[in-house]
Amino acid sequence: MGKHRVGTFYFDPMVQYGETSCGHILFRLTSSTGFTLIMHPFDINSCWSGSATILPGNKPVILYTGEDANKRQVQNLVIPKNLCGPLLKEWIKIPQNPLMSPINGINSSNFRDPITAWLGLNGKWRIIVGSARGKHEGMALLYWSKDFLHWNKSEHPLHSSPKTRMWECPDFFPVSRNSTNGVDTSVNDTTVKHILKASYDSYDYYTLGWSGLQLIPRKIWLSRTERQLLQWPIKEIETLRENRVNLQKKDLASASVFKISGIKASQADVEVSFELPKLEEAELMDPRWVDPKLLCSEKGASIQGQAGPFGLLVLAFKDLEEQTAIFFGIFKENNRYVVLMCSDQAHLEEQVIIDGIKREWRHFDKVTDTSYNPYFGDGKLYGFDFGRLGRTD
């Protein structure tokens, strides 16, 4: 089984915010060599995220965002100090840095997160960098280069939107149209469809790894209609499972919660199925509901419906005063059913009233593991049903 390499931020809680470093972890699915700092402190103020690209001759390089003496975000390049080293633990900056600077009207505080490059049919390398024009137009700036050292900004961004703010961690990559196998970033033909991902307005869209989840390798593919990007942990992850807890045929009454014993929800791989005996009584789908994110926010895990919300409460402790809800809701639309899957993003305490019973709890917005935040180490796992229809899981 091959090795995986993950780049990551490192923030020392003993220093002030902004003094971040970069590091990487080399691991197999069953073991890890541990965290290694590769850039500390690499730039005078800080270094931000970036991406690796394999150049011809099997030469890896990393483009990343640094912050210079004037606190401008700039794009820099590092190369392995010893290309023949098996672990590539040491990296050095090239003297030509910075390769891209915030000139010609680019906001120097919103210019970061270069992606893995792709090679065009004309032999030119291309990357995008997250940015924004003003406060309300996020964009992916497009750059090209013949030699990976001298970069030119294209006249127009790859894409932009006046409805969003700064684009964080953009990405642009091809996905196979006829298999679940990954493809090289430079593939560009009729067998692939390209995906543009960006995070903005405090949401990570099509998040492929963040908040403690980067060490879970996943495969990605297109839905049958090619309108959605799907992802799932690779099959080999199942070899890490241990301490199995098996629960069968658990009846859930309306407005009920039950604890799943024997599991620490800080690190759990859960497979769960729900059976709804009265699905025909599900709530009708309103034709005005066209934005799943907005619908998840409006419905929430605490607003009672017919077929839902139901699902799991993870990282739950203090008698459910603090927890994160992963939940489903089912709706009828013409001759079919629509399933809504959500993660409750509420942060503050709120009052919940279900069938006249008032409860109070707080919600966290991320499902994390103990390697990201030890505070969640004793979190528990619960199943819940806040819908009016009973079910068995």
Per-domain residue ranges of the chain: 4-237, 241-392
141's tokens: 């700036």
| pLDDT tens digits for range 321-373 | 778 888 999 999 888 898 898 887 453 333 333 333 333 333 323 333 333 33
> How many CA atoms are closer than 13 Å to the CA of 31, on its beta-carbon side?
3
- Mean pLDDT, the chain, rounded, equals 79
Per the DSSP assignment, residues forming a β-bridge with 128 are 142
- What predicted TM-score, i.e. pTM, was given to this entire model? 0.74
Cis peptide before 233 (omega within 30 of 0): no
| pLDDT tens digits for range 98-140 | 999 999 999 999 999 999 999 999 999 999 999 998 878 999 9
What is the CATH number assigned to the segment(s) 241-392? Answer: 2.60.120.560
Residues 143/146/150/156 CA torsion (nearest 10 deg) = -20
Residues 100/101/107/109 CA torsion (nearest 10 deg) = 90
Q: E-strand spans in 260-389?
A: 283-284, 307-317, 322-333, 336-343, 350-354, 357-363, 380-385
CATH architecture of 4-237: 5 Propeller (2.115)
pLDDT top residue among 147 and 318: 147
- Fold agreement between 4-237 and 241-392: no
